[in-house]
Amino acid sequence: MSAFVHRVKPVWRDMDALRHVNNAVYLTYLENAREAWWKDVAGTYDIFPFTLVRVEIDYRSSVTWRDEIDISVTVAKIGNSSFELAYLLAAGKRVVAEARTVLVMMDEKQVKPVRIPEEARQKMKRYE
């Protein structure tokens, strides 16, 4: 299994009253990693041709603005029109969170699910 890795540097505004990264900010970190992963898979694009339908996050350890987070993205499953991504978020050797998202490929004009194109499917398989 080969992972795509995206690095995130938390900033002060990501912190909550307890001075660690707020739980909701992790969704943005996942989105940023997913965007970088998709650019690697698809090259150039005008829009994301998929919609997010499920997110699950298990928080393991707190993160502060002093940490850097490496987000490893792997493809857990490829279906007909949907796919699942798995994420491992680590600050150094410390696992800070694990997450999964399910996304559905969409036809932007008709706003309905479509089959994942074979070319994209093959490129996605590099990260299984």
The CA–CA distances, whole Å, from 109 to 27, 38, 53, 83 equal 27, 20, 19, 21
Per-residue pLDDT of the chain (128 residues; tens, 9 = 90+): 589 999 999 999 999 999 999 999 999 999 999 999 999 888 877 777 899 999 999 999 999 999 999 999 999 999 999 999 999 999 999 999 999 999 999 987 778 999 998 988 999 999 98
Q: Which domain holds residue 118?
A: 4-127
Number of structural domains found in the chain? 1
pLDDT score of 49: 85
CATH classification at residue 119: 3.10.129.10
In angstroms, what CA-CA distances link 122 with 29, 86, 107, 115? 25, 18, 19, 13
pLDDT of 71 reads: 98
Q: What is the pLDDT of residue 13?
A: 94
